[in-house]
Amino acid sequence: MSGDERSREEQTSSARDIAAVIASLTREVSDFPSPGIQFKDLTPLLADPDGFAAVTEALAEIASGAELIAAVDARGFLLGGAVATRLGTGVLAVRKGGKLPPPVFSKTYTLEYGSATLEIPAEGIDLAGRSVVIIDDVLATGGTLAATARLLDDAGAAVTTAAVVLELAQLRGRDAVAPLPVSSLRQV
């Protein structure tokens, strides 16, 4: 077996391992936040020191080379902050609307169960040309990631990729985010 084949096999094994950790520590909640939604609660994963460390390391590998991590409100803050610390970069909190003082860059978008607005500061952080990786917990319909990418693009950042812990593949969120590459640690 060549070195390249061994490396691919190790990556595949590592991806299966992290996916199994995520599966074992994800709580499923029916009909939340509204009827028909099967909510994937990652709180047990984040509370487990080994699970949290494994997810942080896997996301950091994906984000390697980024100058800044954009962490999406709210669980993305936990993940993005940990990834930024591991990489030695800064973290930009992408906030829900109304949480930041003006001026802000803002995007409103549609969720699978409503709409929302995301904001980042329009002053105080120079994003022009900076390589940014977006970190969030779950990719569902793609509205949040797509809005975040547009928001960062509007601010002049060079968004290189997005990384999530869990992807609900049947909702085709990647389509909404395209052409931005998305890496997910586990797909369901």
Does 6 participate in catalysis according to the annotation?
A: no
State yes or no: pLDDT of 25 exceeds 70: yes
Question: In whole angstroms, what is the distance from residue 109 CA to residue 92 CA?
Answer: 19
Over residues 84-129, the pLDDT tens digits come to 999 999 999 999 999 999 999 999 987 766 789 999 999 999 999 9
Report the run of H or E that residue 15 belongs to, with start and end.
helix 3-24
Pick the CATH number of 3-187 from 3.40.50.2020, 3.30.70.120, 3.40.980.10, 1.10.287.130: 3.40.50.2020
Structure tokens at 160: 């290189």
Over range 75-83, report the average pLDDT: 97
DSSP class of residue 71? E
pLDDT band at 34 (very low <50, low <70, confident <90, very high): confident
Contact 134, 148 (CB under 8 A): yes
Over range 29-34, report the average pLDDT: 91
Torsion angle, CA of 58/37/115/82, rounded to 10 degrees? -20
State yes or no: pLDDT of 6 exceeds 50: no
Over residues 125-170, the pLDDT tens digits come to 999 999 999 999 999 989 999 999 999 999 999 999 999 999 999 9
What's residue 170's pLDDT?
Answer: 94
**Residue type at position 40:** K
The residues with which 28 forms a beta bridge, in sequence order, are 40
Q: 114 in the Ramachandran plot: left (φ > 0), alpha (ψ -120 to 50) or beta? A: left
Q: How many CB atoms lie within 10 A of CB 44?
A: 12
Which of 75, 95, 130, 174 is labelled catalytic? Answer: 75
All residues at 6 or more sequence positions from 43 whose CB lies less than 8 Å from its CB, including other chains = 27
More confident residue, 88 or 36: 88
Cis amide bond preceding 74, omega within 30: yes
Structure tokens at 186: 């586990």
Structural domain boundaries in the chain: 3-187
Contact 165, 128 (CB under 8 A): no
More confident residue, 111 or 13: 111
The residues with which 139 forms a beta bridge, in sequence order, are 167
More confident residue, 72 or 10: 72
pLDDT exceeding 70 applies to what percent of the chain? Answer: 92
Q: What are phi and psi of 117, to 5 degrees?
A: -130, 140
Does 75 participate in catalysis according to the annotation?
A: yes
Which of 61, 67, 112, 150 is labelled catalytic? Answer: 112
